[in-house]
Structure 1
Amino acid sequence: MNPAQVRELLAQTFPDAKIYVGDLTGTGDHFQAEVVSDRFTGLNTIKQHRLVYGALQAYIDSGELHALQLKTYSPQQWQQTRVQIEGP
């Protein structure tokens, strides 16, 4: 797999989302992803991550995707994170 393929799979499940995917090791099976979606509003981090893993489960089960470092945010959480990093 490559980052574009992982991003496309996530975009199918989260069409409203802003998605970043990177390859952590260059081996095509260890990725990092940041997903910002309205679907995460009101959900805790565990529930957000379950939604993302659900979108990729077939690839995880097959071993095509071995590891995923994940950060998820609702748009409000994303904005708060940006303000904390960049300052007011």
Structure 2
Amino acid sequence: MPMAADEIAGLIKAGIPDAEVEITDLAGDGDHYAAKVVSESFRGVPRVRQHQKVYEALGGRMGGVLHALQLTTAAP
């Protein structure tokens, strides 16, 4: 069953409390999303580690319940 955009945003915000999260459904199917995540905790952190933090916040749902997530991360 596909995930809702607000569920994805909620999981990310729960794992990265100061995050500003913007979710876009790319295909309208609830399976392919883009996420823009901005967090002070990303400052000075390599991009790969920023993405890993987001995936950790999603609790193993990537590749299972959540099929595809185009991810953009940044510090404010």
The structure 1 segments of at least 4 consecutive aligned residues displaced by more than 2 Å after TM superposition are none
Give the distance between the partners of 1:13 and 1:55, measured in 2 at CA: 5
With normalisation by structure 1, the TM-score equals 0.77
RMSD between aligned residues: 1.2
Give the distance between the partners of 2:27 and 2:13, measured in 1 at CA: 22
Q: What are the superposed Cα offsets for residues 14-46 of structure 1, whole Å, 9 maximum, x if unpaired?
A: 111111011111111211000110110110111
Q: Map 1:1-88 to 2 at 5 A.
A: 1-61=3-63, 63-75=64-76
Identity within the alignment, %? 43
In the alignment of these two chains, the number of paired residues is: 74
With normalisation by structure 2, the TM-score equals 0.88
Say which structure is richer in helix.
Answer: 1
Secondary structure of 1:52's aligned partner = helix
Mark the runs of 5 or more structure 2 residues left unpaired by the alignment.
none
* Structure exhibiting the larger radius of gyration computed from Cα positions: 1
